[in-house]
Each structure stands twice: as C-alpha cells, then as structure tokens.
C-alpha cells in the first residue's frame, strides 16, 4: 500500500479550470476511474477519475478553486493489488484479440429487451429513494421526455446521471449551488417534495397501480434486490413503453446464401483476428434500409410536432451482461467494412461484460438491434429504445422446406421483427422496411448497388 498524490491529468488546452463539485472526502474507498471532482470551463464540464483503486487520505481542493494540469488535488493510498488506469488501458488494447478467442459474439449475448443506454462511469454511488406502488404510478402518469431532460439546467455530469436514473427532469429542479447549479441534494429534495405531495388515493388520467400482494400467504418466498443496471434500464423501458405507441412487424428472410458466404470468409476472418457473425451482415443491411427509409433513422421533436432525420448511422446492439442489459453503440456503420465491424463488436461486447463501457460508448444511437439468435425462439416484440423510433429483434435461424416453383428445397430462414413508433412511421412503411431488409439479407449483392 503506497501513498500517492492525486493530480489533474491532461485536460486539453485549459490553464485554469474551476472546481464545481467535490465528489470525495477523506476516508472514502474508490475504484479505478471513479469520479473524484468535477471541473467546468467555458467550453465543457469534465470529471476527474481516480488513477487507481484505494483509500482517500486527504482532499486539498474545494468548490470554487482553480486547477490546471499537474495540480495536486489530494492524496490516496493505492491498492497495489488493483489495476491502475494505465493497466486498464493496456488490458483494453488487448481486448479484441482475447475476445476473438474466448468471448461469445454480441448477438449470442443479447436479450429480448433493449433498454436506453445506462451510464456506468458517471453515476454517483447514491441509492435512489424507494418509491411505493402508488408513487411509481404517479411517476408513470407524468412521463419524462428523454430528449428534454435537463436541457436548460446547469448541473454536472454526475448529477445529470443521478437525475436520469431517477427519471427526474432537471429543468424542474431549482439549483442551490453556485450560479444556480443543480446539486445532488437538490434532486433528492425535489423527489422528496414530489412524493410528499402525492395522494395515496389519487385518481384520474393515468395507469392504475398494480395491487400490493403478500405472496408469503401462498407459500415460501425470497426477495432479491434488482441489479443496478436493471433498476436503471427498467425505468427507461417503462417510460418508452408508456410514451411510444408501439407497432411490431414480424417477418422472416432467407439467409442461406449469406451464411454460405460467411462460412467461406471464415479463414480470412481468422487471419484478421476476428469472428465473423451474422450480426455484422444484418447491421449493413439495416443501414442500407435506413438510407432507403429515413423516417426510421430519426427521432421525434420533444413536442411531437416534427421529425428529426439523422444523416449518420450509429447502430446500438443490445448485450446481456452479468449485471444486466446494456446497449453499446457502433458508430458510422455505413463507413466500415465487415471485418472492422466484427472487431469493434468484439471489443464493445468485452467492455460491456467487464463493466467498462463509458457513457460515450452507449450514446448517439440511431437504431437498435436485439438478438436472440444464439439462444432460440421464433419471434418477440423488442421495446423501442426512445428517443429512437425503431428497433429490430433477431431470432434463431433454422432450416425449412421452401417451395422454389418446382420442388421443396432446404433453406436457412431467419425470423425477425421490427418495433416502431407509430407516430413517426406508418404501417405500410413499416412493412416496406422489413421487406427491404429481408431482400438485402437474402441477396448481399444488393448492398453494393
């Protein structure tokens, strides 16, 4: 155990940056990359991470101080057995190679549901207040628009993450910090006030609460707390389900030729150090279809009166991890080849399972894909990952007899589904989209036209 100074790392072209939040105190135990303080310049707000795991011995800065690269902000006793930031970075560089030999492909680790990206690195360790069933129902009656949350508020990234986790619109919270900054205590106070104002017998518009039942009267029970990611994603799933009028279009496509091509390319993929999976072909087909149907590559404006079409193609891929479901985002899929996408998928999947995804890794998606192909099933209804307007669900492909006009022949058929926001997409357009995706997957030559 060695005592070391905690210094400000390279923060770019900033000579003097104000400390707006101190997230630690003497005696705290921290892990690698835990946020220590928050800085704010005229251009950006940033959090300074712990360089290694250990115990905080002293903190030498306070809110309002000015710091620059190399300044000492405290001391800590480092845990020699824990990896440092540098060691973690080195391990991250080796992730693609190790993932190629030992990790399952992303689609084999995916789950039915697709949740909104759950921030891991920027969330504080605070536990959200427990709500009763009636209080949860009241929150459901006033869903928060994911696009407008905190749009006009003044708060640090950790406070924003804390508010997102609890479904609080920072625009409704009065800040008591310097210059009206919203602090974590302000969010907690807002929640407390809102819950105290909720009547247990509230009636009117909204969804009726689920009745409380004492299940132990029927037999033995065990209660286990949900994992942190499930708690966070559950709130977003409920918000999306309540706010988005879902329609799901079911279809299937012949991927016999695609799978044969994938297997033919296996030696070249192994030489490149990647595992070639069907998911990367699906991603390319989806992007081509998004270019044909731009309403699917869009989001609705906060007031629901306009559609915002995106001219970039970032695809979210749902990954099932030991801690819950997360959705890392592969950026610029239209500009990348099959091998490059395979390598990036392996890297993101490994980071997801190791709990090392950053908020940036899980933001900016245009369209999501949730795959059960490596598990089983025929069809399912994925939940739209709002503020996106559509999501695809992939099921297990299997050989089926298909009539070719003169006889039945075995073909590898893959069932899939697309859920979409009916406010942005009409039913006829939904069918055309799924049909087009199916055509691209059944004949890869169309992807290059």
> What's the gap between Cα 218 and its chain centre?
38
HSE, CB side, 13 Å, CA atoms: give it for residue 319: 32
Output the CA torsion sign for 126, 131, 136, 142. Answer: negative
Percentages helix, strand, coil for the chain (3-state, rounded to 5) are 35, 20, 45
The strand order across the sheet containing 66-67 reads 45-49, 35-40, 17-22, 66-67
HSE, CB side, 13 Å, CA atoms: give it for residue 425: 32
Burial 265-282 (b: 16+ CB within 10 A, else e): eeeebeebebbbbbbbbb
| DSSP per-residue string spanning 38-99 | EEE-SS-EEEEEPSSSEEEEEE---TT-EE-TT-EEEEEEE-TTS--HHHHHHHHHTHHHHH
The first and second tokens of residue 167, run together, are 């479904």
Whether 154 is catalytic is: no
HSE, CB side, 13 Å, CA atoms: give it for residue 306: 5
Q: Are 50 and 8 in contact (CB under 8 A)?
A: no
Active site positions, annotated: 422
């Amino acid at each position: 155990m060695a005592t070391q100074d905690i210094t400000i790392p390279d923060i770019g072209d900033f000579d003097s940056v104000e400390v707006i939040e101190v997230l630690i105190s003497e005696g705290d135990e921290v892990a690698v990359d835990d946020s220590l303080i928050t800085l704010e310049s005229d251009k950006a707000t940033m959090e300074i991470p712990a360089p290694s795991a250990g115990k905080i011995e002293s903190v030498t800065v306070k809110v309002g101080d000015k710091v620059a690269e190399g300044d000492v902000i405290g001391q800590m006793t480092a845990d020699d057995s824990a990896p440092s930031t540098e060691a973690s970075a080195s391990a991250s560089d080796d992730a693609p190679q190790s993932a190629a030999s030992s990790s399952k492909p992303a689609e084999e680790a995916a789950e039915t549901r697709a949740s909104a990206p759950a921030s891991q690195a920027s969330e504080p360790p605070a536990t959200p207040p427990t709500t009763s069933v009636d209080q949860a129902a009241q929150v459901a009656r006033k869903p928060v628009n994911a696009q407008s949350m905190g749009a006009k508020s003044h708060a640090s990234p950790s406070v924003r993450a804390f508010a997102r986790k609890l479904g609080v619109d920072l625009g409704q919270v009065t800040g008591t910090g310097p210059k009206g900054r919203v602090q974590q205590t302000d969010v907690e106070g807002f929640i407390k006030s809102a819950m105290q104002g909720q009547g247990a017998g509230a009636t009117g518009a909204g969804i009726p609460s689920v009745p409380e039942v004492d299940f132990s009267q029927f037999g033995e029970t065990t209660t286990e707390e949900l994992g942190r990611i499930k708690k966070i994603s559950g709130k977003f799933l409920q918000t999306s389900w309540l706010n988005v009028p879902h329609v799901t279009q079911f279809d299937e496509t012949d991927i016999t030729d695609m799978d044969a091509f994938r297997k033919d390319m296996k030696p070249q993929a192994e030489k490149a150090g990647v595992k070639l999976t069907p998911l990367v072909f699906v991603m390319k087909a989806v992007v081509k279809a998004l270019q044909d149907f731009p309403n699917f590559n869009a989001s609705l404006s906060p007031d629901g009166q306009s559609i915002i079409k995106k001219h970039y193609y970032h695809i979210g891929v749902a990954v099932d991890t030991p801690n819950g479901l997360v959705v890392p985002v592969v950026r610029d899929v239209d500009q990348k080849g099959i091998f490059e996408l395979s390598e990036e998928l392996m890297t993101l999947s490994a980071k997801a399972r190791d709990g090392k995804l950053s908020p940036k890794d899980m933001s900016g998606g245009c369209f999501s894909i949730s795959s059960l192909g490596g598990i089983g099933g025929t069809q399912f209804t994925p939940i739209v990952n709002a503020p996106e307007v559509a999501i695809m669900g992939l099921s297990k492909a299997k050989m089926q007899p298909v009539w070719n006009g003169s006889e039945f022949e075995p073909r590898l058929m893959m069932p899939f589904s697309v859920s979409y926001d009916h406010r942005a997409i009409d039913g006829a357009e939904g069918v055309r989209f799924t049909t087009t995706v199916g055509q691209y997957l059944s004949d890869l030559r169309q992807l290059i036209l």
